[in-house]
């Protein structure tokens, strides 16, 4: 049901090129903690750089072996000349690996100067004050690329546009949970992938049309019999493979917590007063990334999401060498054990090997159906 979104993702280079042909600029972002409202207010198209799961032979020469595959993959794309359309890049301080990666990218990616956005790990008043100063520096960087100032009106408009998109995405997430919903996990992944490369207003229009089609579609009663699962993880492409394997194993993905999934849309920016203040508040208090404190906040929010969606099991995708996600693991385990939710954890090796992934998913679904304990 979501082929137009899949097509937009495949056409991402031509979309960026068309934007540039019209005199626009394009900035790549790393992680959903980069406030895209600022980039849009500067009239720039933000494009999220994500792992494409290709060879990482060249980036290994520049990055330590113990860095996560996601960052190796991103540098590989730059070294291969696949990101030449970028006029800049914003690297967020979502974890310590990204901090080191920024320096390597800056020296070796062969692309215009990137910006490193410091993001406080806590959300108090002091942290917000500091973050606003950082956002102002980021704004200056973007103004340099755009060649024009970011006005307060443009910021309010960008917040409104992003909020409208979040509301549509939330409608999609809510519809997926409903009984007999025809929306599969793969449909949601396609919608999200398109969101990473399209101008936000265009994505919102496509999503409205898609949701109208979903509302008019007949109820799919067979899907109600399926085991309900939530996916938790980082990369949207890995979750695509897992969603498909889960559906083939007779399950149904009803919720997620992905960097660019639910974490992107669950809360809107409260645009009251100064827009910089509103953006800072939002990014410091939205559902956090695993590297943020207190760490229990994420574990508790995740277990609430899983319970609310009626999921019987949870699939946790862990990128190799990703410390923030691994640190979260014991806390999440405690939180979901209390709620008697079953957990399957998968690493990159499990996901790249199609046969192994299929077997693991089938076994997991069977264990839930037979009510066996899985941790």
First and final C-alpha spacing in the chain? 34
For residues 274 and 136, the answer to whether their CB atoms sit within 8 Å is: no
As measured in angstroms, the least distance from the Cβ of 329 to ligand SF4 is 12
As measured in angstroms, the least distance from the Cβ of 173 to ligand SF4 is 22
Nearer to ligand SF4, 234 or 257 (CB): 234
Whole-number Å distance between alpha carbons of 229 and 356: 19
As measured in angstroms, the least distance from the Cβ of 318 to ligand SF4 is 9
Nearer to ligand SF4, 68 or 361 (CB): 68
As measured in angstroms, the least distance from the Cβ of 95 to ligand SF4 is 3
Q: Tell me the β-bridge partners of 134.
A: none
Helix axes 3-10 and 200-216, enclosed angle (nearest 10): 160
Nearer to ligand SF4, 38 or 95 (CB): 95
As measured in angstroms, the least distance from the Cβ of 45 to ligand SF4 is 23
Nearer to ligand SF4, 94 or 183 (CB): 94
Helix (H) or strand (E) holding 80: none
Q: What is the dihedral of CA 163, 164, 166, 170, to 10 degrees?
A: 130
As measured in angstroms, the least distance from the Cβ of 29 to ligand SF4 is 12
SS3 199: coil
As measured in angstroms, the least distance from the Cβ of 102 to ligand SF4 is 11
As measured in angstroms, the least distance from the Cβ of 345 to ligand SF4 is 15
Nearer to ligand SF4, 322 or 351 (CB): 322
SS3 30: strand
Binding site for ligand SF4 (CB under 6 A): 68, 70-71, 94-95, 97-98, 234, 319, 322, 324-325
213 CB burial (10 A radius; 0-12, 13-18, 19+) = exposed
Nearer to ligand SF4, 71 or 332 (CB): 71
Nearer to ligand SF4, 5 or 70 (CB): 70
Q: Regarding beta strands 45-48 and 251-257, do their DSSP bridges make them parallel or antiparallel, or are they unpaired?
A: unpaired
Alpha helix stretches (DSSP H) within 147-199 = 152-177, 185-195
209 CB burial (10 A radius; 0-12, 13-18, 19+) = exposed
Nearer to ligand SF4, 95 or 254 (CB): 95
Residues 6+ apart with CB under 8 A from 165: 195, 200, 201, 203, 204, 207, 265
């Amino acid at each position: 049901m979501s082929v137009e979104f899949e097509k937009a993702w495949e056409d991402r280079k031509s979309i960026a090129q068309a934007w540039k042909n019209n005199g626009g600029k394009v900035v790549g972002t790393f992680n959903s903690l980069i406030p895209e409202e600022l980039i849009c207010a500067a009239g720039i198209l933000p494009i999220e750089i994500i792992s494409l799961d290709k060879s990482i032979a060249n980036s290994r020469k520049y990055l330590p072996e113990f860095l996560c595959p996601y960052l190796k993959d991103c540098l590989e794309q730059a070294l291969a000349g696949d990101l030449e359309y970028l006029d800049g890049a914003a690297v967020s301080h979502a974890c310590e690996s990204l901090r080191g990666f920024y320096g390597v990218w800056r020296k070796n990616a062969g692309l215009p100067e990137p910006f490193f956005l410091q993001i406080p790990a806590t959300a108090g008043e002091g942290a917000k004050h500091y973050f606003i100063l950082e956002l102002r520096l980021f704004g200056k960087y973007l103004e340099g690329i755009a060649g024009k100032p970011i006005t307060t009106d443009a910021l309010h408009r960008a917040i409104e546009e992003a909020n409208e998109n979040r509301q549509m995405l939330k409608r999609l997430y809510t519809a997926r949970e409903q009984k007999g919903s025809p929306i599969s996990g793969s449909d949601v992944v396609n919608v999200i992938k398109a969101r990473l490369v399209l101008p936000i207003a265009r994505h919102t229009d496509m999503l409205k049309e898609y949701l109208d089609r979903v509302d008019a579609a007949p109820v799919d009663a067979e899907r109600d019999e399926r085991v309900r699962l939530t996916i938790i993880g980082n990369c949207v492409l890995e979750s695509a493979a897992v969603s498909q394997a889960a559906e083939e194993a007779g399950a149904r993905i009803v919720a997620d917590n992905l960097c660019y999934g639910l974490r992107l849309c669950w809360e809107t920016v409260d645009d009251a007063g100064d827009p910089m203040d509103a953006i800072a508040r939002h990014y410091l208090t939205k559902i956090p990334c695993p590297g943020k404190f207190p760490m229990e906040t994420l574990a508790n929010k995740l277990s609430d999401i899983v319970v609310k969606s009626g999921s019987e099991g949870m699939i946790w995708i862990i990128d190799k060498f990703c410390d923030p996600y691994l640190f979260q693991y014991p806390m999440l385990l405690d939180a979901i054990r209390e709620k008697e939710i079953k957990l399957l954890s998968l690493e990159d090796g499990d996901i790249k090997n199609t046969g192994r992934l299929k077997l693991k998913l089938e076994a997991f679904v069977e264990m839930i159906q037979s009510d066996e304990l899985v941790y």
